[in-house]
């Protein structure tokens, strides 16, 4: 696989030779100028090359591939396209964008996700829809149980590739790849490009690949104001109420696991907030209802797990609260990317407790310029490093000490998270 930097960049949709129906749809959506990623990804993918785009959250990546795919489908009568997204919510969101774009185009589309009736999806798939938007798990199930082959799929999109691999979808992606027949183009979107993303790219992609890397791909957007609150765990609930009372607009409060999500959701309901919660333990029907009500503004405060940390696009989210820190540093970047999208401003508030030493160090790179407030005047990080525990044992003292410097060795230690009680709790 030869990775090249793109030479094509077009700064207006009019120059891109898009299908006229798409130009009209863009106008209806009040979208007039391509974003940075669109100005490179659209012309390069319309040229037929494989594309890897390392795209900033909220950079307009859905339209970047949707406009290109629909133009290709309009030009090639027999061609079909498959879009893979990591979660049901994302797949539904992408499906909606496609439906809006191709309102005036005769393109049959099908949504293939878990949690809804399989038989209806099989019937739709058997009719060979031109466009399939799917999660890899459910797509793979259909392919295996119904022995379907993905014929004439000439374009495949792997959206949030890094997330998909984190979620353990590599085997499903490999099966899907095996069922594809004929030449095709692959467009891969990912917030980061590590070894595992590269190996999936190798599997799907042709010899020549264009890599588009938006300059700020791995950093929060400038319009995002960040605040870090250093406080004791016992102060978190009260402080959250203060922050919610001060906040304007929609809020997503991220918690660390399903249990905390339930408890905090209930706490806020008891205080009379227009709130609800979402996590992977709810039925698909419940998840859909909560997301619909949140999108429509009936729910102002949504308490969530990292299930919705990525890709979710709800314009009126003006605030993100990291009530618990995530288990992976990249999820932090995705969480705060739910606000300050598409040129809007937004605020992210992050609660940090003394035992968050290790993760706090890891997310520092995403907190540049953040205002740090010591809510608890006594606040000090607890050093949980192996070295520290060892030294304590050696000294034979039970006295608890804490230090900020010690967190350096904490980040090196490998013990911890995997064996902690948290590991047993359902995170998403
Ligand atoms: P995405 O990164 O695909 O989740 O898109 C984030 C948001 O940006 C969505 O609400 C889009 O409707 C919006 N958007 C996408 N492209 C443009 C554009 N060229 N101009 C203005 N808004 C856009």
Is the domain of 209 the same as that of 228? no
| Res. 306: pLDDT tops 70 | yes
How far does residue 46's CA lie from ligand 1's centre (Å)? 19
**CA-nearest residue, atom 17 of ligand 1:** 60
Is the domain of 42 the same as that of 180? yes
410 within some domain:
no
99 within some domain:
yes
**CA-nearest residue, atom 1 of ligand 1:** 60
397 within some domain:
no
Is the domain of 346 the same as that of 366? yes
Q: How far apart are CA 110 and CA 108, in angstroms?
A: 7
Looking at the chain, the whole-number percentage of residues with pLDDT higher than 90 is: 62
DSSP element (H, E) containing 122: helix 118-126
Q: Does 220 contact ligand 1 (Cβ within 6 A)? A: no
The count of structural domains within the chain is 2
Is the domain of 28 the same as that of 159? yes
| Res. 1: pLDDT tops 50 | yes
Conformational region of residue 152, where left means phi above 0, alpha means psi within -120 to 50, and beta covers everything else: left
Q: Does 334 contact ligand 1 (Cβ within 6 A)? A: no
The domain containing residue 152 runs over which residues? 2-213
392 within some domain:
no
- Could you give the dihedral angle defined by the CA atoms of residues 152, 155, 160 and 165, in that order, rounded to the nearest 10 degrees? 50
Is the domain of 202 the same as that of 292? no
Q: How far apart are CA 320 and CA 128, in angstroms?
A: 40
pLDDT at 398: 42
| Res. 404: pLDDT tops 80 | no
Q: How far apart are CA 73 and CA 155, in angstroms?
A: 9
* Single residue among 213, 244, 275 that ends a domain in this structure: 213
How far does residue 350's CA lie from ligand 1's centre (Å)? 25
Tens of pLDDT, residue by residue over 328-364, are 888 898 899 888 876 678 999 999 999 999 999 999 9
Q: Does 43 contact ligand 1 (Cβ within 6 A)? A: no
Helix/strand number for the chain, H first, E second: 16, 15
Is the domain of 58 the same as that of 195? yes
155 within some domain:
yes
How far does residue 182's CA lie from ligand 1's centre (Å)? 32
Beta strands in 326-391 (DSSP E): 346-352, 371-374
Q: Which atom of ligand 1 is nearest to the CA of 61?
A: 3
Which CATH number do you get for residue 56?
3.40.50.300
* Residue to mutate, 62, 97, 340, 344, ligand 1, most ligand atoms under 8 Å from C-beta: 62
SS (H, E, C) 236-293: HHHHHHHHHHHCCCEEEEECCCHHHHHHHHHHHHHCCCCEEEECCCCCHHHHHHHHHH
Q: Taking residues 275-283, report their average pLDDT.
A: 95
How far does residue 315's CA lie from ligand 1's centre (Å)? 10
399 within some domain:
no
Q: 3-state class of 73 per DSSP?
A: helix
**Mean pLDDT taken over the chain:** 86
Q: Which atom of ligand 1 is nearest to the CA of 62?
A: 3
Query: Do 113 and 134 meet the contact criterion of CB atoms below 8 Å apart?
Result: yes
How far does residue 327's CA lie from ligand 1's centre (Å)? 28
Is the domain of 133 the same as that of 254? no
Q: Which residues of 217-231 are buried (b: 16+ CB within 10 A; e: fewer)?
A: bbebbeebbbbbbbb
| Res. 423: pLDDT tops 90 | no
How far does residue 105's CA lie from ligand 1's centre (Å)? 21
Is the domain of 16 the same as that of 122? yes
pLDDT at 426: 79
Q: Which of 268, 299, 303 is nearest to 282 (CA)?
A: 303
- Could you give the dihedral angle defined by the CA atoms of residues 202, 203, 205 and 207, in that order, rounded to the nearest 10 degrees? 60
Tens of pLDDT, residue by residue over 147-190, are 777 889 999 999 989 888 888 899 999 999 988 888 899 999 98
159 within some domain:
yes
Is the domain of 286 the same as that of 324? yes
The sign of the torsion formed by the CA atoms of 133, 137, 138, 144 equals positive
β-pair partners for 288: none
Is the domain of 193 the same as that of 240? no
Is the domain of 99 the same as that of 136? yes
Which strand ranges, in their side-by-side order, compose the sheet holding 250-254?
275-278, 301-304, 250-254, 317-322, 346-352, 224-230, 371-374
- Categorize the per-residue pLDDT at 214 as very low, low, confident or very high, splitting at 50, 70 and 90: low
* Single residue among 191, 213, 235 that ends a domain in this structure: 213
Q: Does 38 contact ligand 1 (Cβ within 6 A)? A: yes
Query: Do 32 and 11 meet the contact criterion of CB atoms below 8 Å apart?
Result: no
Q: How far apart are CA 355 and CA 410, in angstroms?
A: 11
- Categorize the per-residue pLDDT at 425 as very low, low, confident or very high, splitting at 50, 70 and 90: confident
DSSP element (H, E) containing 80: strand 80-84
Q: Which atom of ligand 1 is nearest to the CA of 59?
A: 2
* Single residue among 178, 193, 213 that ends a domain in this structure: 213
- Categorize the per-residue pLDDT at 323 as very low, low, confident or very high, splitting at 50, 70 and 90: very high
Q: How far apart are CA 121 and CA 138, in angstroms?
A: 10
pLDDT at 71: 97
Q: Taking residues 393-407, report their average pLDDT.
A: 40
**CA-nearest residue, atom 15 of ligand 1:** 60
Which DSSP category does 328 fall into? Answer: S
How far does residue 343's CA lie from ligand 1's centre (Å)? 9
How far does residue 404's CA lie from ligand 1's centre (Å)? 41
pLDDT at 185: 96
Tens of pLDDT, residue by residue over 11-40, are 999 999 999 999 999 999 999 999 889 999
pLDDT at 421: 38
DSSP element (H, E) containing 156: strand 153-158
Is the domain of 201 the same as that of 317? no
Q: Taking residues 402-419, report their average pLDDT.
A: 33
Tens of pLDDT, residue by residue over 115-135, are 777 788 888 888 899 999 999
67 within some domain:
yes
């Amino acid at each position: 696989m030869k990775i090249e930097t793109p030479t094509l960049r077009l700064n207006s949709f009019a120059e891109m030779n898009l299908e006229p129906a798409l130009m009209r749809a863009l106008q209806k959506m009040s979208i007039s100028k391509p974003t940075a990623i669109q100005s490179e990804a659209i012309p390069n993918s319309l040229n037929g090359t494989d594309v890897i785009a390392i795209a900033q959250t909220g950079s307009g990546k859905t339209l970047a591939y949707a406009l290109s795919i629909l133009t290709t489908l309009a030009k090639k009568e027999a061609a079909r396209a498959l879009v893979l997204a990591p979660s049901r919510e994302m797949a539904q969101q992408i499906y909606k964008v496609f439906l809006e774009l191709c309102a005036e185009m005769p393109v049959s589309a099908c949504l293939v996700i878990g949690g809804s009736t399989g038989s209806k999806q099989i019937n739709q798939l058997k009719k060979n829809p031109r466009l399939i938007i799917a999660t890899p798990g459910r797509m793979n199930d259909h392919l295996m149980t119904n022995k379907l082959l993905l014929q004439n799929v000439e374009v495949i999109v792997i959206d949030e590739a890094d997330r998909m691999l984190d979620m353990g979808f590599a085997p499903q992606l490999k099966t899907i790849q095996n069922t594809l027949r004929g030449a095709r183009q692959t467009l891969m979107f990912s917030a980061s490009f590590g070894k595992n993303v590269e190996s999936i790219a190798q599997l799907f992609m042709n010899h020549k690949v264009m890599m588009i890397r938006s300059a700020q791909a791995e950093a929060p957007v400038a319009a995002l104001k960040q605040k870090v609150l250093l406080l004791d765990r016992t102060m978190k609930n009260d402080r959250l109420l203060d922050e919610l009372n001060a906040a304007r607009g929609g809020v997503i409060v991220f918690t660390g696991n399903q249990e905390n999500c339930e408890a905090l959701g209930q706490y806020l309901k008891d205080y009379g907030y227009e709130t609800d919660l979402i996590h992977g333990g709810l039925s698909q029907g419940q998840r859909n209802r909560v997301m619909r009500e949140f999108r429509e503004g009936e729910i102002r405060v949504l308490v969530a797990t990292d299930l919705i940390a990525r890709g979710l696009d709800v314009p009126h989210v003006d605030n993100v609260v990291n009530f618990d820190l995530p288990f992976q540093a990249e999820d932090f970047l995705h969480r705060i990317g739910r606000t300050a999208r598409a040129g809007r401003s937004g605020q992210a508030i992050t609660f940090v407790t003394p035992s968050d030493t290790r993760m706090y160090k890891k997310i520092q790179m995403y907190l540049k310029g953040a205002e740090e407030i010591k809510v608890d005047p006594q606040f000090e990080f607890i050093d949980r490093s192996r070295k520290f525990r060892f030294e304590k044992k050696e000294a034979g003292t039970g006295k608890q000490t804490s230090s900020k410097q010690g967190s350096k060795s904490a980040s090196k230690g490998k013990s911890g998270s995997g064996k902690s009680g948290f590991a047993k709790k359902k995170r998403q």
